[in-house]
Homo-oligomer: A and B are copies of this chain.
Amino acid sequence: MLNRNRIVTAAVELIEREGADAVSMRRIAAELGVGVMSLYNHVPSKAALLDAVAEDVLSRIGFTDDPSAHWTERVRIQARAFRRIAHHFPRSTMVVVSRQLGSTAGLLPVERALATLRDAGFDGREAVRMLRMFIAYVVGSLLREVGVTPTFAPVRADAVIAEVDPALFPVVSELRPHLDSCDHDEEFEFGLELLVQAMAVRAAARADAQAGDGAGERAGHGGARQ
């Protein structure tokens, strides 16, 4: 019996195996051993199918939230959980971020994240902003990571070794070794730590302002250090 679930799982398998460009209704139907038009009894259109793929991938995020841990650690864990599924479905991740899905899929991670931020002491407005900023960073990072497509990419490794004129781009050519290599794990953790620390000083500033009230709010809007 054909049903929606079999179709979307076949779709993500196909995407992971041969890339998003290889996805066609005929291809999926062949994969399932059914006629093409049978798919349309369970899925209204190809666009809707891709939306379903995105939701499916999103819903696979593991929710190992430990409310007893410090909120900074909970933030790290949630970010890594997001990243893990992206690495599990790298090519599908591209369709996830490419589509604007106005559904409630992946609402549970949002719930967890907001709860964590509330526990950190942020009010509603700040919590939402922090979350949005965090998602922006994570999505941007994943986009770069999966864009480089570690899976099945005979990529133009030659292209990145293209010459750059040291006269025109002195800094770039000086930092060439650092720009060419990229340990994705380390890079992600680096940015993650920076963001978490930034959030921590914000939270501390909030606590100070709330306690002292009047003094010590310099860290709130000025530079935290400089």
Question: Which residues of A line the B interface, CB within 8 A?
Answer: 70, 72, 94, 97-98, 100, 102-104, 107-108, 110-111, 114-115, 118, 124-125, 127-129, 132-133, 135-141, 143-144, 147-149, 155-156, 159-160, 162, 164, 168-172, 174-175, 177-179, 182, 187, 190-191, 194-195, 197-205, 223-226
A-B contacts, 9 of them at CB < 8 A, read A72-B226, A97-B143, A110-B172, A124-B174, A129-B187, A135-B144, A140-B140, A195-B195, A197-B225
CB distance from A190 to the nearest CB of B (A): 5
- Kindly list chain B residues whose C-beta atoms are within 8 Å of the C-beta of A201: 197, 201, 224-225
Copies of this polypeptide in the complex: 2
In the bound complex, CA of A62 to CA of B206 (Å): 37
A143 with B137: CB separation less than 8 A: no
Task: List the B side residues contacting A200 at CB < 8 Å.
Answer: 223-226
Interchain CB contact under 8 A, B124 and A178: yes
Say whether B194 contacts A198, CB under 8 Å: yes
Nearest B residue to A113 via CB reads B171
Given contacts A137-B136, A179-B128, contact A197 B224 (CB under 8 A): yes
> What are the residues of chain B within 8 A of A141 when measuring CB–CB?
133, 136, 140
Are A104's CB and B175's CB within 8 A? no
Q: Tell me if B129 and A140 are in contact (CB < 8 A).
A: no
A133 touches B128 (CB 8 A): no
**What 8 A-B pairs have minimum CB-CB distances, sorted nearest first?**
A136-B140, A140-B140, A198-B198, A133-B191, A204-B225, A102-B159, A100-B147, A139-B140
Contacts of A223 in B (CB 8 A): 72, 197, 200
- A45 smallest CB distance to B (angstroms): 12
Could you tell me if B132 and A137 are in contact, using CB atoms closer than 8 angstroms?
no
- With A70-B226, A107-B172, A136-B144 as given contacts, are A156 and B102 in contact (CB-CB < 8 Å)? yes
A159-B51 Cα distance, complex, nearest whole Å: 14
